[in-house]
Amino acid sequence: MKGLSGSRFCFYVGFVVGTLSLYLFLRQVWFERSMELPVLGGIQGSSVAAVAEEKQASDSDNWSVEGAALINLNHPHHTGEDSRVADELYQKVRILCWVMTGPSNLQTKARHVKATWSRHCNVVVFMSSVDDPDFPTVGLGTGEGRDQLYWKTIRAFHYALEHHGNDADWFLKADDDTFVVVDNLRWVLSNHTPEEPLYFGKRFKPYAKQGYMSGGAGYVLSKEALRRFVEGFKTKVCTHTTSVEDLALGQCLEKMGVLAMDSRDTLQRETFHPFVPEHHLTGKFSKSFWYWNYCYYPIVEGPQCCSDLAVSFHYVDAELMYTLEYWTYHLRAYGYRHRYRPPLPQGLVERLAQTERATVGTAGRGTIPAGIIVVGGGNQSKMEAVSYKGAPRGGKIPMDNNRTAVTQESQQ
Amino acid sequence: MLSEGSSFMKGMALGGIFCLLLSLLGSFTPGMQSSPEDQHHHHHIKAPTNDELQSLSEPQMVELSQKVRVYCVIMVQPKVLVYWATAKDTWSKHCDQAVFYSSESAKALEAVDLNEQDEWTKLRKALKHAYDNSGDLRWFFVARPTTFAIIENLKYLILAKDPNEPFYIGHAMKSGELEYVEYESGIVLSYEALRRLVNVFKDEEKCPERGRALWKLSEEKQLAICLKYTGVFAENGEDTQGKGLFNSKSVSSLIEDGMSKNPLDVVEGCCSDLAITFSGMSPNQMQVMMFGVYRLRPYGHNFHDSLIFFPPEGSDND
């Protein structure tokens, strides 16, 4: 009797001790979590799902599918931003993007192009060897592989002119591992007219007198240039000479009197890039690398390799596609006044009476409209608060880069 | 005796299993009895909205913009000199004052030598040094060697906050009952929080210099405990949509996660447009971030922000 109750008592004590000690242990070790998760895990999870759903629904409002082409009805932009200039350019500089791809690349590469930068084109067509009504892609009736590249290019451009000659002014060719910032391409093209025979891209010098444009970095033909390309094949001035697509195209265009243009920005920095950003910004090209002998313009290594308004990068894998889309269209530094502030294209100055603090002129001097607070850049050991008591009310105050300005007058 | 002992053991084992089962079932989380209410106690800090900014008067805005200056405390190690060199050449140029703190001195490394290997002690010494040398700077940001910070976005977050109030901001985490800011994604302290912290450093009972717990707590948790004694609590920095602004991973890593978790909207579900920190980046990746944050943009999309931050002098990668 006594033994039984004693062991039962021990059992209960053991039970309590076991529970308590495990509770303490778990509390310290297991119940770590981010404060975001309980609040956000639910919210963020559902908001992302909601956004994805919204996106699919609105996708049909934003895109109309005509055959194999995706026609962009609304230029995408974010809440809180002033895209008047970009919208003007979207109307004025219409671009058809065609993406060179193939059946085996649709899910691994082309899909990510479709989800990212191609949404900013006026029209986008995915060119493959085989028709695919679901993606959708155009079947060019060729095979696949490097030796088919020029055939695909020839047929793709013919298709573009025949089916979409009136839907666009400029025709861009890109690979499914090229990332293009289409808004910046519009800026490059904005001071040119599509009625002239012109073509832009990353300019290489060998084998052609005026040079030719790198295929991987993407190149763009004006409507007149495209007409002449197609005409050249009709009249047999141009034929399928080699499978080296970019060189062959360049040679044909040269024969047809199309001009190879300089696509660099106003500080002579390249906009079309044949490699990924990391390679251009941080890599050192070995002196024996072919690149040195190919580039038409002098190679710049380091940060000045690339324009702020970069147009393209090549050898971009899926992850980098989304990363670049995030860097370009999403991530920014609040209030940051960029060093490079190029002037508006001529055609737009009249149409837009007033823009933001867009200064006319290069980085450095500029005018700040009233009511904006200016803070000095980092690493300035002295900050002078300058008051503009003598300044005209409601007017603009000329400023230079180095001074910290305090608010000007109040808005009237 | 033996039967009692074995009963005891059986009881203990059963008790342990019982507790485990209950917590696994999820409806009972012993660590947070007040879990639903707890969510209301979670502190979140959001940046000011446009309406809030516009409701401020001119002199108020001026005062705020002068107060929002950041002293960056950047922890480095001579073992990996390249991180010091990269931070110096990239994001730290946007701090009003950037000071590097090293565990030991080394040639070519321009940093304050803390002469200390223990992580918590290093952090204490660095924060004390920062407090003593802050001049008229009122905000402090603590970074690890592989952290990348966008100081302008930090300034925007804390713009309307008074540094004479205690603030302890970052990616807030919860361990049991303790709320702390994750070290890896950067820690933000206001002047008042740092002042209280430096004061409590003197108290060996509440805030010992060398951790004395049975198992050693990480330095981020030690910091939280010391601050808690002074009445300062961790707050989560987030944007207007509730997305965290402080990240302990790099952009590519977060994008990679997004590609598997929500492949239909990778970029939207990734990170905030006004993110403040990323971490775990290589030196090359930091250089590319400078391009991505401060330079690369689509022409014609403009923002009417209420502040203008000028680029720093003597720099060309931003």
Give per-residue pLDDT as tens, B208-217. Answer: 887 655 567 8
Q: Which pair of tokens denotes residue A253? A: 């265009």
> With a cut of 50, which residues of chain A have pLDDT below it?
1, 36-52, 56-57, 355-371, 379-412
Q: Are strands A63-66 and A69-72 parallel, antiparallel or unpaired?
A: antiparallel
Helix/strand/coil for B301: coil
Q: Which pair of tokens denotes residue A387? A: 């008051």
Q: Contact at 8 Å (CB) between B223 and B180? A: yes
- CA distance, residue B205 to nearest chain A CA (Å): 21
pLDDT of residue A4: 52
Mutation choice for A interface testing from B3, B6, B12, B276 by most A CBs within 10 A: B12
The answer to whether B1 contacts chain A (CB < 8 Å) is no
End-to-end CA, chain B = 77
- CA distance, residue B207 to nearest chain A CA (Å): 19
pLDDT of residue A27: 65
The answer to whether B260 contacts chain A (CB < 8 Å) is no
The answer to whether B312 contacts chain A (CB < 8 Å) is yes
Give the number of C-alpha atoms closer than 13 A to the C-alpha of residue A350, restricted to the C-beta side: 2
The answer to whether B213 contacts chain A (CB < 8 Å) is no
Q: Which residues of B touch A184 (CB under 8 A)?
A: 298-299
Report the largest interatomic distance among the alpha carbons of chain B, rounded to a whole angstrom. 85
Interface contact A322-B14, CB threshold 8 A: no
Q: Count how many pairs of residues, chain A against chain B, have C-beta atoms within 8 Å.
A: 368
Q: Which pair of tokens denotes residue A74? A: 């609304």
Q: Which residues of A touch B156 (CB under 8 A)?
A: 334-335
Mutation choice for A interface testing from B41, B154, B299 by most A CBs within 10 A: B299
Interface contact B307-A375, CB threshold 8 A: yes
Task: Name the region of A141 (left: φ>0; alpha: ψ -120 to 50; beta: rest).
Answer: left
A307 burial type by CB count under 10 A (0-12 exposed, 13-18 middle, 19+ buried): buried
* Own/partner pairs, A342-351, CB within 8 angstroms, 24+ separation: A342/A187, A342/A265, A342/A266, A342/A309, A343/A266, A344/A85, A345/A89, A345/A187, A345/A190, A345/A191, A346/A191, A347/A92, A347/A190, A347/A191, A348/A85, A348/A88, A348/A89, A348/A92, A348/A190, A351/A88
Per-residue pLDDT of chain B (318 residues; tens, 9 = 90+): 677 778 888 888 888 888 878 777 654 444 443 344 344 455 888 888 877 887 877 777 777 777 799 999 999 988 888 999 999 999 999 999 999 999 988 888 889 999 888 899 999 999 999 999 999 999 999 999 999 999 999 999 999 899 999 999 999 999 989 999 999 999 999 999 999 999 999 988 888 887 655 567 899 999 999 999 999 999 999 998 889 999 999 999 999 999 999 999 999 889 999 999 999 999 999 999 999 999 999 999 999 888 888 999 989 999
- CA distance, residue B250 to nearest chain A CA (Å): 10
pLDDT of residue B77: 87
Interface contact B293-A331, CB threshold 8 A: yes
Q: Which residues of B touch A116 (CB under 8 A)?
A: 267
ipTM score assigned to the predicted complex: 0.86
Q: Which of residues 159-198 of B touch A (CB under 8 A)?
A: 171-176, 179, 182
- If one counts every other C-beta atom within 10 angstroms of the C-beta of residue A354, the result is 7
DSSP B80: G
- What does the alpha-carbon distance between residue B23 and residue B138 come to, in Å, rounded to a whole number? 44
Interface contact B96-A380, CB threshold 8 A: yes
Q: Which residues of A touch B259 (CB under 8 A)?
A: 318-319, 322
- CA distance, residue A33 to nearest chain B CA (Å): 5
A206 burial type by CB count under 10 A (0-12 exposed, 13-18 middle, 19+ buried): exposed
Q: Which residues of B touch A28 (CB under 8 A)?
A: 175-176, 215
Give the closest of A183, A323, A358 to B251, CB-based.
A323
Q: Which of residues 261-280 of B touch A (CB under 8 A)?
A: 262, 264-271, 273-275
Amino acid letter for position A377: G
Does the bond joining A136 to the residue before it have cis omega, within 30 degrees of 0?
A: yes
DSSP A398: E
